[in-house]
Amino acid sequence: MLRGRGDECRRLERLLDSARGGTSAMLVIRGEAGVGKTALLDYVAERASGCSVVRASGVESEMGYPFAALLQLLRAPILRNLEQLAPPQRDALRRAFGLMEGPPPQTYLVGLATLTMLSRLAGERPLVCLVDDVQWLDRESLAVLSFVVRRLAAEPIVVFFGVREPNEPELSGLPDLVLTGLAEADARLLLDEAVPGGVDEQVRDRIVAETRGNPLALLELPRGMTPAEFAGGFGLPPRTSSPGGSSRPSHVGCRPFLKKRSATCSSSRRTPSAM
């Protein structure tokens, strides 16, 4: 169950409604590792009643494979309708997906073909496209999707992207939602859920402060702690006072944890791990 995120969920639902009403929409959900981007995309999928939902997710080990992510998005039943495309678009898509020999297709033609396919699908029911982990999309798929979302018009299509910071340049200028940590009260509730035996109030406040409400950190950090630590018996580092007088933790214990999770991201687009 999602904790907090009321405003964000309402915004997502408004976009779903706009697609149901025949107006295209898009949103880039941005934020650090573990902040809840995928959780919000899952929320959209759950709320997308009456819509078709297509999904793709960047895979770090597939970054070097042209159009790998696009294939995820356009897989059957869409590919069954290839014959309905104009021949240049159809052949471009076939070449993109290795269904036909020939030189690499032009992004422009693959983009047009994708637009046509998505529009056709949206002619049956409003269409929701969820594209997660954009930082790991292959370049070609990202270029095509960037082309497509900028050409959506009065169509029942809504596209949501999830991307770790920093944002991908190809998505710049699109409407975005920058996700930060949960509000303190929601973070406390999530932490209480994660620690069935309960947490000493002071310890809880420190964890909430150190995680800055990052849900993944709130769920994972307690795993390495002992019952004594939950009860307040672990050596909390002293708080330091800022010049303004307010105190804050002298270290941020969860940040190395999050850095580790996102380490592969920072260098990812230029140096994919598998080409």
Ligand X SMILES: Nc1ncnc2c1ncn2[C@@H]1O[C@H](COP(=O)(O)OP(=O)(O)OP(=O)(O)O)[C@@H](O)[C@H]1O
Nearest in space to 135 (alpha carbons), one of 43, 37, 45: 37
Near ligand X by CB under 6 A: residue from 16, 19, 27, 39: 39
Of 23, 38, 81, 167, the one binding Mg ion by CB under 5 A: 38
For position 262 contacting Mg ion by CB under 5 A, the verdict is no
Closer CB to ligand X, residue 1 or residue 153? 1
- The partner in contact with residue 2, picked from ligand X, Mg ion, none with C-beta cut-offs of 5 to 8 angstroms by kind, is ligand X
Question: How many residues contact ligand X, by CB under 6 A?
Answer: 20
Picked from Mg ion, ligand X, none, the partner binding residue 58 (CB below 5 to 8 A depending on kind) is: none
Minimum CB separation of residue 191 from Mg ion in Å reads 20
In angstroms, give the least distance from the CB of 36 to Mg ion: 8
Q: Cα(265)–Cα(257) distance, rounded to whole angstroms?
A: 14
Contact flag: residue 164 with ligand X (CB under 6 A): yes
Which region among 94-102, 198-206, 211-219, 245-253 touches ligand X (by CB under 6 A)? 211-219
Integer-rounded Cα Rg, in Å, for the chain is 22
β-pair partners for 52: 127
Show contacts with ligand X in window 12-31 (CB under 6 A): 31
Q: Is 33 in the site for ligand X (CB under 6 A)?
A: yes
The one segment of 17-25, 106-114, 200-208, 213-221 that binds ligand X by CB under 6 A: 213-221
Shortest reach from residue 252's CB to ligand X, in Å:
18
The footprint of Mg ion (CB under 5 A) covers 37-38
